[in-house]
Chain A
Amino acid sequence: SQQGEEDPQALSIQEGENATMNCSYKTSINNLQWYRQNSGRGLVHLILIRSNEREKHSGRLRVTLDTSKKSSSLLITASRAADTASYFCATGEGTSYDKVIFGPGTSLSVIP
């Protein structure tokens, strides 16, 4: 099963620009997470925002969550070529060790 949609499906920007990716989901959630995947492997957990939070920051990452609209956004500021990857939002049901349901993902290309 998969959760919702991600927008855009693909994004190409110049190095130094900001990248914004949006995610919508269908069901009630406990938390929403963002992951990065390079070259089809190596899934890395970036950030988690709980359902009672509206905004969270981690380094160059900013995540927002709007539970009334069942949507989230991921902002990467001052992008670098190394940020080129696929980004997935995913919804979690509970604790750190619960299953995660993924959205379709956004492919980000940062051009040096």
Chain B
Amino acid sequence: SAVISQKPSRDICQRGTSLTIQCQVDSQVTMMFWYRQQPGQSLTLIATANQGSEATYESGFVIDKFPISRPNLTFSTLTVSNMSPEDSSIYLCSVGRIFGQGTRLTVV
């Protein structure tokens, strides 16, 4: 099964700044997925990232806030833009059933 490397593992960011999270897979996959897990909550799907096309966002998530890149079949990035304390969460990428270790983001 695929192995995912996600970084950074954690970060503390200032309000109003942006953070880009990277996700590297050790094999080629068509679709990659980005999730958000707010404190004490379950995972919520943000978007599906397909190589060669724009990401498909779930209800409540918009490209301006969470731009996603998918330059090839093994790599994707998620940017959390213009951050506020409400964006403090764990962000995870996945390829189906395999998940990265997550990025714990704290916005101060």
What residues of chain A have their CB less than 8 Å away from a CB belonging to chain B? Answer: 1-2, 33, 40-43, 45, 48, 88, 92, 95-105
Contacts and interface: CB of A to CB of B under 8 A. Distances in A.
Given A1-B59, A41-B90, A105-B42, A100 B102 contact: no
B31 A41 contact: no
Contacts of A40: 37, 90, 104
B97 A102 contact: no
What are the 5 tightest A-B residue pairs by CB atom distance, in nearest-first order? A97-B96, A43-B99, A45-B97, A102-B43, A102-B42
B22 interface: no
25 contacts: A1-B59, A40-B90, A40-B104, A41-B90, A41-B101, A42-B101, A42-B102, A43-B102, A48-B97, A97-B30, A97-B31, A97-B95, A97-B96, A98-B31, A98-B96, A99-B31, A99-B45, A100-B33, A100-B45, A100-B96, A100-B97, A101-B45, A102-B42, A102-B43, A103-B42
Interface string B45-78: 1001000000000110000000000000000000
B107 interface: no
A72 B43 CA distance: 19
Contact of A96 (B59, B97, B102): B97
Interface residues of B, number: 25
Interface of B: 29-31, 33, 35, 37, 41-45, 48, 58-59, 90, 92, 94-99, 101-102, 104
* B interface, over-half SS: strand
A103 B45 CA distance: 11
Contacts of B96: 92, 95-100
Given A41-B102, A97-B95, A2 B44 contact: yes
Contacts of A43: 43, 92, 99, 102
A11 B102 CA distance: 25
Nearest to A42: B101
